[in-house]
Amino acid sequence: MVHQNSAKFHLAHLESTQKFGQSIGQMIEAHTLLALAGEIGSGKTTLVKAIAKALGVVETVTSPTFVMLNEYRTGRLPLYHLDLYRLYDEESNEIIPFDLITGQLDEILNTKSIIIIEWANIFLNGYGQELNKLTENGYLSLSLEADKQDDQARILTVNYVGETSKTSFFLFEKLCKLSKDILV
């Protein structure tokens, strides 16, 4: 049975986002896919950096906007960091066909690793089903928004998509328990 679950968090400062990422990095298990959405500067890479640090990645995590995929192998689990911003062609208002990257994602998901995708919304709108099929363990969609009242704060909506028996769902539950004080 497929369930959908959602939780909203208020990240009052940069440090709150870093702390949230740190918790993810400590608890995340292999074969987990995180789909990050949010406007430019909303904090996606900030979150990835904190996750990587908690995983024990020693390299500096940089935004992969121009290279599409960065791979970090020095942490507790290999981390693949994708940024799909470039998949969207503003001029033609078209998305580069998804199957160009599904093969690669499929391959990575079969290894004991973690995948984090920035600008995942580019294909979640229209390709959500594809992503769902791709990941047997379901996935967590993390969507960051500015807080209109406070430019240092962010609102994070976490959605779990998939079966509730899977590792991604357990992470979702743990995050909800851990972060009671920032749940909105």
Q: Which residues of the chain form contacts with Mg ion (CB under 5 A)?
A: 44-45, 63
Quote the least distance from Cβ 153 to Mg ion, whole Å.
18
Q: Per CB under 6 A, does 121 bind ligand ATP?
A: no
- Other C-beta atoms closer than 10 Å to the C-beta of 72 total 21
* CA dist list (Å): 149 to 42, 59, 104, 127: 14, 35, 40, 33
Binding region for ligand ATP (CB under 6 A) out of 67-75, 97-105, 106-114, 151-159: 151-159
Which single residue is written with the structure tokens 């702390």? 19
For strand 69-72 and strand 94-95, is the pairing parallel, antiparallel, or unpaired?
A: unpaired
Instruction: Tell whether residue 44 is a contact of ligand ATP (CB under 6 A).
Output: yes
- Measured from the CB of residue 42, what is the shortest distance to Mg ion in angstroms? 9
Centroid of chain to Cα 75:
17
By CB under 6 A, residue 40 contacts ligand ATP: yes
CA distances from 26 to 12, 36, 53, 73, 103 (A): 21, 18, 9, 16, 28
Q: Select from 3, 13, 73, 133 the one that contacts ligand ATP (CB under 6 A).
A: 13
- Tally the residues of the chain: 184
Minimum CB separation from ligand ATP for residue 79, in Å? Answer: 16
Residues engaged in binding ligand ATP (CB under 6 A):
11, 13-14, 16-17, 38, 40-46, 63, 118, 152-154
